[in-house]
Amino acid sequence: MNDFICIGGITLGSLLIVAGLLHLIPRLGNFGRALSQWLCVAPGLDILVGFFTGLPLILGPVFAGWIGLAAAVFSQVLAVMIWTTLHGLAHPTARKGPRIVKFLNALVGPWRNFIAVWITALAVPVFLLIRVAELLVYPWLVWLIRFPKYKQSEWVRVGRHKFENLVGHDLIWCLYCDWMTGVWSLGSEMLRNVESFWCPIRFDNEKKCANCHHDFPDIYDGWVKSDANMTAVTDVLTKQYGEAEINCWFGHPARLTVEGDETE
């Protein structure tokens, strides 16, 4: 019990202090505004998200095993709820006005909405692992097989805190979605290169092709049919990568730019 209280207290205090500093930093002149902006995009955002989500889940078990993990998770949840309440109280006009949480509570019920939104938090470790792969795995493919580089800050960034009257509960979960969708979209973009480079063959199930086409456009725009042969596959690889400087997926903007230059 002492370990739970100690680790929980330190975690809760640390999270709330840093959250408070994030509100203070933009008020510290030009340097503060620049730092605040840096923390809103990768790699600064990676450090911030890692501190609030990943670090407690690592340090808690390191110092006290399962009790430490439980204390860390409990403190993270409590910190969100405390911050949500305080932020709402600091913005009474917005809190009393139209809000996402009010509509959804009326639509599905307050407790259903509350439980459901916290269930989505269980996916945080999954998105953290995806982000780690984007940072540590994909760069090797850029170096080894000339996959395209990406300016990751164009995907991994948050900005919904600038939306007028988005406060408390609505703000914290919208920031989560802001980060999550960027991480997922960047991962999908990287996987397009992987699939088209190594496996440009359509799935043998038409429904799966249709379902995956949105995320992998090359399914219908370059991959060979599932009943084709290996000659057709190597022909596609020769056409798409034989003289390419960057081995990107077939519909990547870099290819469109090259084709446009050649046309001119």
CB atoms inside a 10 Å sphere around CB 107: 9
What are the helix and strand counts (H, E) for the chain?
A: 13, 0
How far lies 194's CA from each of 106, 147, 187, in Å? 44, 9, 11
Per-residue pLDDT of 235-244, as tens digits, reads 999 999 998 8
CB atoms inside a 10 Å sphere around CB 40: 21
Nearest to 179 by CA among 55, 50, 90: 50
Domain boundaries, the chain: 2-191, 199-263
The pTM (predicted TM-score) of the whole model is 0.91
Per-residue pLDDT of 99-136, as tens digits, reads 999 999 999 999 999 999 999 999 999 999 999 999 99
Distance, in Å, from the CA atom of 123 to the CA atom of 174, rounded to the nearest integer, reads 15
CB atoms inside a 10 Å sphere around CB 190: 22
Q: Is there a contact between 113 and 101 (Cβ–Cβ < 8 Å)?
A: yes
pLDDT in tens, the chain (264 residues): 788 999 999 999 999 999 999 999 999 999 999 999 999 999 999 999 999 999 999 999 999 999 999 999 999 999 999 999 999 999 999 999 999 999 999 999 999 999 999 999 999 999 999 999 999 999 999 999 999 999 999 999 999 999 999 999 999 999 999 999 999 999 999 999 999 999 999 999 999 999 999 999 999 999 999 999 999 999 999 999 998 889 999 999 887 644 333 323
